[in-house]
Structure 1
Amino acid sequence: MTVFIDSDNTIGTISPKLHGQFIEFLGSCIYDGIWVGEDSDIPNTRGYRNDVLDVLKQLHPPVLRWPGGCYADTYHWRDGIGPRENRPITFNENFGTFEREDNQFGTDEFLQLCELIGAEPWININLMSGTIQEMRDWMEYCNRAEDTELSRLRARNGHPEPYNVKYWGIGNEVWAGGGNMTARMYMDKYRQFASSMPKFTSSIFEQSPIYAIASGPDTNKPRESVKWTEDIFAELSQYRQPPIHGYDMHFYNWNISDPEDTPTDFTQEGWNRVIHGCLELEDIIQTQSQLVNSGLKYIPQPEGFWDSKLEHVDLIIGEWGNWHYSAFNARPALQQQVSMRDAITTALTLDLLQRNCDKISMACNAQTVNVLNSLVLTDGKDMVITPNYDVFMMYQPHQNATALNVPRQDSQSGAYIFASQKDNRITINITNASMDAAKDVNVVFANDVEIMGMKRLESDDPHTCNTFDDPDAIRAYTVNDEFNDGMEFNFHVPAASITVISARIL
């Protein structure tokens, strides 16, 4: 059998925002991980540690979500603005963090981080313990260009120009830590908050630049996730619709059934469990996409001249990644190592997100630094880049490319395949998810191509991870295999490896 790559068999355009990231006041994700303050002995730029800042600039995440997560629903934004010495001290109980919060990293620090690394910000408002007025003031502070008290306050805090934050999440995981709400309870609150958002336009005929994101389901619960989406859209269909542009579902690849399984100590069974677990997201995406589209059919036809019918809501994944059992007992909270098993699932998850680019518009890895499926780990002055970072860097050519319709898995070798095209360049991913067996994958193109380059991420031992003593144990490298121009190629891929191939159509 062969894998056939046909440039005419397309799915859609891959939004760069499918490669988004997420940071939260959880463990040492922000403090020590990103922010150390200007007076720190750790080299920094305006308080951001230089080593992490440099790798995030290279990563150039298209979107960055903050302040949560669960923390969003206890966070009051005014605690984190103004002179840092005057900011209140609070306490963070979020997911076992259990530490005092000095509020040294707030709205301006986050938004200026986004400016430094080229990320578009996504702010989650405080729905559970906050108020509509608090949300309005926060949005005005961030976005108001006109001369008002809040725009003046922003200017006094060092940023005269508006930040123009587009993405605003209204509530986070409201079915659990965000309020244990029912769909009806949530939609009642959502209608009020979303309808109260400032529009930042100068005419009633202008389209508001604000993109409102609703809290979607916990997709780790199959029955509840279906019911939640059905109920949300049933409530949404009642009378007139508030602004709603995105629907944010969350998915974690839970690896918690075996307490003995850790990120770096696992069996063949544990390897297979985590690999197969991440692939469940594909069926979930397809199910939720169908539920959203079905729900939209019940939206009534408007009666008034000024009203428009809600016909589309983007499906978003605000949090995804591997969550191993050992993270529950970790200090700092939810910190875990990243081995080739995690890198493989990160690659497979990005593949399925890209393959479903016609259904998913944005997604955020949870989380960027020191928490769960991290790209970066820090310890005092030391920093290490995990294999997950390499995966995201290797996959950058897919951004804004056209996803090609190829089989998810090669039936002969069992390797996983993804391909996209941008102009006359085709990028192919071959992920060998076998823990111990190398594979040969035969690929046939519709036209003659030249193999322009090949990068690979692998390890002789799939349990290996990058440590502070050995920070480059796993690192992507250039493969120097030579190929003649043609239509058919055989690629030999090692066990537990990710290979990204660039081909030019002749």
Structure 2
Amino acid sequence: MIDTNQIQGTISPYLHGQFVEFLGHGITDGIWVGRESDIPNIDGLREGIVDALAKLAPPVVRWPGGCYADTYHWRDGIGKPENRPTTYNENFGTYEQDQHQFGTDEFMHFCELIGAEPWLNINLLSGSVQEMKEWMEYCNRKETTSLSNERKANGHPEPYNVQFWEIGNEAWAGGGFMTPQDYVRKYRQYSSAMPTFKQNIFDKSKIYKIASGPDGNKPLERINWTRDLLNEISKYRQPEINALDLHFYNWNLDSDTDMPTSFQEDDWYRVIKGARELALVIAEQKQLIKDGLEKMPVPESSMDQQLQKIDLIVGEWGIWHKASFMAKPALLQQVTMRDAIATAISLNILQENCENVSMACVAQTVNVLNSLIITDQDKTVLTPNFDVFMMYKKFQGSRLVQYQTREKNQFVDIFAAIQDEILTVCLINSHINSKQVVQVDFQHLAKGIFAERLVADDVTDYNSAEHPNTVRTKQISFTDKISTMKEFDLPAASINIFQFKLIK
């Protein structure tokens, strides 16, 4: 039963964010082909990717990492292309030269073309406070300074007004193998040095400061990290912190024979089960943040702040198959209906937690892990995950609707949201080979107005340069009969979206 009288939070578009990194061919030979390339491009940006992502219109894109962020010096990527240095990228087995042709201004241009806000990750490991400060000034300073003039000379007179800044990345591992105490000491320095770009003391504009959250895949460490980090922040004066960035991957590492496009029934259900773990991690982390904030001491002076709210972000999430560790280019993996369904389940969990999670970015958008787009020489291939994100655009800005089931069906996931009397319902059948029949009670008269489905002839099917549309969303016939009860036949391994006009 879908109870449209029980409406919760609004589903933020920021839950559908994207992540791109200098890893494998995620950017080089993926997003970036160069201005002189024979591949159709817009100022060096692959036209096929720009066109596809402009259609998707992701709300935010995170860059330059990821692990790469903590070895990245932003000045390497600005100025005349022929004057930029060549370095070597060992990030996650990339092992390629980096000519730094895609830098800050190219990334900002990319975001402008696809309608996304930029999220920048600061180099906390090998950079410096001064380097961070100068990068922010270059991006955001409106007033005439040497750095704003440099940005103008590089082709962008107006400031980029970047709101989202993360201090470091995965500080518990490749970001420095820090303890929470180590990290907070550095966070205090970097956070304090951030310019505000305010025009006066009453200016409400704000830089959104993101701290490195825990490794969501370590059950004990993730509890200790968040608890100890907040405890350390509570000591003496509390630095401003707007969000904690949790990373969680649906690891599929248990079988040497499980390949991204060749797997057995047990492999299928292992990945589906792994996607559902995200809900438990979010609930746990949100409680830890709540507990930590309740212990924040009241400042001795009214001039000092008391932290009362810290958002939870899932800055990296997705399916990670074992075979991708050996892939060339690095971490390239194909996307089948198994990945699409796990992705849809993950998006459902994020949306169900729209009051607990403020932003999330899938890892990654192009050519890496749980990608939406794969490139093959001059071809741009949209994976089934691209279709999933396009289907889920219908939920952006909607209000979460509660539902109850008479009998729990472990293979059917239900999600519903409403906006302007239009009810959108997602029904996922995760059974690998059997259809499921579901009855839904709407409590109100409802008229069907639209339906679409993502399903494959075989669960191991995928899209390639030779066959780019093997797995594509299709609009399906749908009765417009007005009633309070609907019955749905859900094909095996399918994602189904139905929209209704409520008649009250």
Relative to the length of structure 1, the TM-score reads 0.98
| SS of alignment partner, residue 8 of structure 1 | strand
Within a 5 Å distance, the mapping from 1:67-82 to structure 2 comes to 67-82=64-79
Counterpart AA for 2:7: T
Shift of 1:363: 0.2
Within a 5 Å distance, the mapping from 1:48-447 to structure 2 comes to 48-407=45-404, 411-412=408-409, 414-447=411-444
2:238·2:305 contact (CA, 8 Å) conserved in 1?
Answer: no
Counterpart AA for 2:188: R
Match of residue 28 from structure 1: 25
Q: Does 1:474 align with 2:466?
A: no
Shift of 1:407: 4.7
Shift of 1:241: 1.3
Q: Does 1:461 align with 2:485?
A: no
Counterpart AA for 2:314: I
2:449·2:480 contact (CA, 8 Å) conserved in 1?
Answer: no
Deviations 1:8-52 (A, max 9, x none): 212211110000000000000001111111100001111111111
- What is the rounded CA distance, in whole Å, between the counterparts of 1:208 and 1:499 in structure 2? 41
Shift of 1:207: 3.3
Shift of 1:408: 8.6
Shift of 1:203: 1.8
Shift of 1:404: 1.1
- What is the rounded CA distance, in whole Å, between the counterparts of 1:246 and 1:413 in structure 2? 33
Shift of 1:302: 1.8
| SS of alignment partner, residue 358 of structure 1 | coil
Greater mean alpha carbon deviation, residues 360-369 or residues 295-304: 295-304
- What is the rounded CA distance, in whole Å, between the counterparts of 2:340 and 2:494 in structure 1? 9
Shift of 1:289: 0.2
Greater mean alpha carbon deviation, residues 369-378 or residues 45-54: 45-54
| SS of alignment partner, residue 475 of structure 1 | coil
- What is the rounded CA distance, in whole Å, between the counterparts of 2:312 and 2:364 in structure 1? 20
Counterpart AA for 1:348: I
| SS of alignment partner, residue 318 of structure 2 | strand
Percent same amino acid among aligned pairs? 53
- What is the rounded CA distance, in whole Å, between the counterparts of 1:408 and 1:218 in structure 2? 33
Deviations 1:383-406 (A, max 9, x none): 210000000000101111111122
Counterpart AA for 2:390: M
- What is the rounded CA distance, in whole Å, between the counterparts of 1:30 and 1:228 in structure 2? 31
Shift of 1:414: 3.3
1:410·1:441 contact (CA, 8 Å) conserved in 2?
Answer: no
Counterpart AA for 1:167: F
Shift of 1:169: 0.4
Counterpart AA for 1:262: M
Q: 1:237 to 1:440 in 2, by over 3 A?
A: same
- What is the rounded CA distance, in whole Å, between the counterparts of 1:99 and 1:408 in structure 2? 52
| SS of alignment partner, residue 15 of structure 2 | helix
Report how many residues are paired: 503
Counterpart AA for 2:330: A
| SS of alignment partner, residue 6 of structure 1 | strand
| SS of alignment partner, residue 228 of structure 1 | helix
Deviations 1:249-296 (A, max 9, x none): 000000011011011111000000000001000000000000001000
Shift of 1:208: 4.2
2:384·2:463 contact (CA, 8 Å) conserved in 1?
Answer: yes
Deviations 1:27-78 (A, max 9, x none): 0000111111110000111111111110010010000000000000000000
Q: Does 1:495 align with 2:503?
A: no
- What is the rounded CA distance, in whole Å, between the counterparts of 1:416 and 1:305 in structure 2? 49
| SS of alignment partner, residue 189 of structure 1 | helix
Shift of 1:305: 2.9
Match of residue 44 from structure 2: 47
1:458·1:498 contact (CA, 8 Å) conserved in 2?
Answer: yes
Shift of 1:180: 0.1
Counterpart AA for 2:266: E
| SS of alignment partner, residue 259 of structure 1 | coil
2:415·2:425 contact (CA, 8 Å) conserved in 1?
Answer: yes
- What is the rounded CA distance, in whole Å, between the counterparts of 2:330 and 2:305 in structure 1? 46
1:413·1:439 contact (CA, 8 Å) conserved in 2?
Answer: no
| SS of alignment partner, residue 323 of structure 1 | strand
- What is the rounded CA distance, in whole Å, between the counterparts of 1:471 and 1:20 in structure 2? 24
Q: Which runs of 5+ in 2 are unaligned?
A: none
- What is the rounded CA distance, in whole Å, between the counterparts of 2:201 and 2:275 in structure 1? 45
| SS of alignment partner, residue 318 of structure 1 | strand
Greater mean alpha carbon deviation, residues 428-437 or residues 479-488: 479-488
Runs of 4+ in 1 over 6 A off after TM superposition: none
- What is the rounded CA distance, in whole Å, between the counterparts of 1:376 and 1:395 in structure 2? 16
- What is the rounded CA distance, in whole Å, between the counterparts of 2:405 and 2:277 in structure 1? 13
2:213·2:246 contact (CA, 8 Å) conserved in 1?
Answer: yes
- What is the rounded CA distance, in whole Å, between the counterparts of 2:90 and 2:404 in structure 1? 45
| SS of alignment partner, residue 225 of structure 2 | helix
Match of residue 11 from structure 1: 8
- What is the rounded CA distance, in whole Å, between the counterparts of 1:425 and 1:461 in structure 2? 33
CA RMSD of aligned residues (A): 1.1
Deviations 1:218-239 (A, max 9, x none): 0100000000000000001111
